[in-house]
């Protein structure tokens, strides 16, 4: 396996280079954003789009709701250099239906570069638009031009694009969301997090997983307004950002039921133990009868007697769909066999997917052994020893 950095050919001066990534090459000019560190994000997104389309096409006829007029449409709503769009064009080739890819950016400089990158790669199924991403998605919704796959990869927070994306995506569509808002999501700016995502974060060892669960809750409450719900397929906290893949479905009942998956987090101020407090529950086994949940937690911690801090609401159900993860693993292996240099971050993808495959389902948040030992003032033992006894 070649080191991804070695694989890159960078030619030209520093501010006008040609970068190769996946099967694409792009002009990388200083006016337009290109972040090499996010190659993993893009590799994974290409794999997810490819796997999703392949599996959906096997399962359903072409009259499926995810295709519009027998075409597939992918929207790269915040495209910058056009790299993602070009990669979708060149690397999602197994789809027997025609694919239209829209590379959109609000910046005119970006548009010029996207156009020259399309030419450089002969990626002529990529359509370029120069609009505000929200306006574009609302307009398409009004014209009933629904989108099969929407990729939201903004600077910082993605929530301002959720309302339009949720309304615009097809029933069963794939929604991919990046957030680089880690300081906010991990509890450094609680008020900002509440304003942007509708949840209070907690500063705790589990803050990165909580960040993922806050985004899942935010996407779902946006979806519920339109009788839709968003099932997380794969949720990753990587480097300085979160990347989550959802399938969005239309169903009023499921949308309401998804509220039973929202919970507050009670974090003890003393021993840092935590409990989840659901917002609502199903009454008398009737799934349509949702009532406010009974409070489960005492006023003070039963272990150490301290009071609690409350965070959330978070998404308390599973943040991955294990079938989808296994499909990704299989596709990754198949792609590696046909071209071992396809993905620059192949090893990292393989490692992360295996980690996810081994994660416990429906077991939200976690403790850190070193933190636990420091709280109870004992020597840190090895994880192996701890698990054994």
Ligand X SMILES: C[S@@+](CC[C@H](N)C(=O)[O-])C[C@H]1O[C@@H](n2cnc3c(N)ncnc32)[C@H](O)[C@@H]1O
Stretch that binds ligand X, among 9-17, 151-159, 235-243, 368-376 (CB under 6 A): 151-159
Give the residue, chosen from 18, 29, 34, 115, that forms a contact with ligand X under the rule CB under 6 A. Answer: 34
Size of the site for ligand X (CB under 6 A): 20
Q: What is the DSSP letter of 12?
A: S
- Name which of ligand X, Zn ion, none residue 78 binds, using a CB cut-off of 5 to 8 Å depending on partner kind: ligand X
- 127 binding ligand X? (CB under 6 A): no
Give the residue, chosen from 112, 154, 290, 348, that forms a contact with ligand X under the rule CB under 6 A. Answer: 154
How far apart are CB 79 and ligand X at their closest, in Å? Answer: 6
How far apart are CB 373 and Zn ion at their closest, in Å? Answer: 15
- Name which of ligand X, Zn ion, none residue 271 binds, using a CB cut-off of 5 to 8 Å depending on partner kind: Zn ion
Q: Which is nearer to ligand X, 245 or 249 (CB)?
A: 245
Q: Which is nearer to Zn ion, 47 or 301 (CB)?
A: 301
How far apart are CB 375 and Zn ion at their closest, in Å? Answer: 9
Q: Which is nearer to Zn ion, 18 or 304 (CB)?
A: 304
How far apart are CB 195 and Zn ion at their closest, in Å? Answer: 30
Please give the Cα distance from 139 to 130 (Å, whole number). Answer: 13
Please give the Cα distance from 229 to 50 (Å, whole number). Answer: 22
Backbone angles phi, psi at 364, to 5 degrees: -70, 145
Q: Which is nearer to ligand X, 85 or 221 (CB)?
A: 85
Please write down the long-range contacts of 27-35, taking CB distance under 8 Å and 24 or more positions apart.
27/81, 27/113, 27/116, 27/117, 27/120, 28/81, 29/113, 31/109, 31/110, 31/113, 32/80, 32/81, 32/107, 32/109, 32/110, 32/113, 33/80, 33/81, 33/110, 33/155, 34/80, 34/81, 34/83
Backbone angles phi, psi at 56, to 5 degrees: -65, -35
| String of DSSP letters for 303-356 | TT--BEEEEEEEE-S-SS-HHHHHHHHHHHHHHHHH-TTS-TTHHHHHHHHHHH
Give the residue, chosen from 30, 60, 155, 334, that forms a contact with ligand X under the rule CB under 6 A. Answer: 155
Interface residues for ligand X in 67-126 (CB under 6 A)?
78-81, 83-84, 104-107, 110
- Residues in the site for ligand X, rule: CB under 6 A? 33-34, 38, 42, 78-81, 83-84, 104-107, 110, 132-133, 153-155
């Amino acid at each position: 396996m070649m080191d991804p950095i070695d694989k890159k050919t960078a030619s030209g001066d520093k501010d006008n280079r040609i970068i190769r990534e996946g099967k694409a090459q792009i002009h990388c000019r200083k006016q337009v954003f290109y972040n090499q560190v996010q190659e993993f994000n893009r590799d994974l997104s290409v794999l997810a789009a490819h796997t999703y389309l392949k599996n959906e096409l096997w399962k359903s006829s072409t009259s499926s709701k995810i295709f519009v007029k027998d075409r597939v449409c992918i929207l790269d709503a915040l495209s910058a250099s056009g790299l993602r769009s070009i990669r979708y064009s060149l690397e999602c080739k197994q789809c027997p239906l025609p694919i239209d890819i829209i590379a959109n950016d609000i910046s005119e400089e970006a548009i010029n570069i996207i156009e020259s990158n399309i030419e450089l790669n002969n990626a002529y199924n990529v359509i370029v638009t120069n609009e505000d991403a929200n306006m574009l998605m609302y307009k398409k919704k009004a014209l009933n031009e629904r989108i099969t796959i929407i990729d939201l990869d903004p600077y910082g927070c993605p929530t301002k694009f959720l309302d339009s994306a949720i309304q615009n995506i097809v029933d069963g569509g794939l929604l991919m969301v990046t957030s680089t808002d880690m300081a906010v999501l991990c509890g450094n700016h609680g008020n900002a997090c509440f304003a942007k995502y509708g949840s209070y974060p907690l500063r705790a060892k589990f803050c990165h997983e909580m960040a993922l669960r806050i985004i899942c809750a935010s996407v779902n409450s946006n979806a519920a307004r339109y009788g839709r719900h968003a099932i997380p397929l794969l949720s990753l906290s990587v480097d300085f950002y979160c990347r989550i893949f959802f399938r969005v479905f239309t169903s009023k009942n499921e949308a309401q039921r998804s509220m039973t998956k929202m919970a507050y987090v009670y974090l003890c101020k003393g021993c840092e133990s935590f409990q989840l407090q659901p917002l609502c529950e199903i009454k008398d086994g009737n799934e349509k009868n949702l009532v406010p949940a009974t409070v489960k937690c005492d006023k003070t911690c039963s272990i150490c007697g301290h009071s609690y801090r409350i965070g959330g609401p978070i998404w308390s159900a599973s943040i991955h769909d294990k079938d989808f993860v296994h499909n990704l693993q299989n596709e990754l292996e198949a792609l590696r066999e046909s071209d071992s240099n396809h993905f620059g971050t192949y090893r990292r993808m393989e490692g992360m997917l295996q980690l996810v495959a081994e994660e416990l389902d429906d077991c939200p948040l976690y403790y850190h052994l070193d933190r636990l030992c420091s709280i109870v003032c004992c020597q840190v033992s090895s994880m192996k020893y701890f698990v054994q006894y």
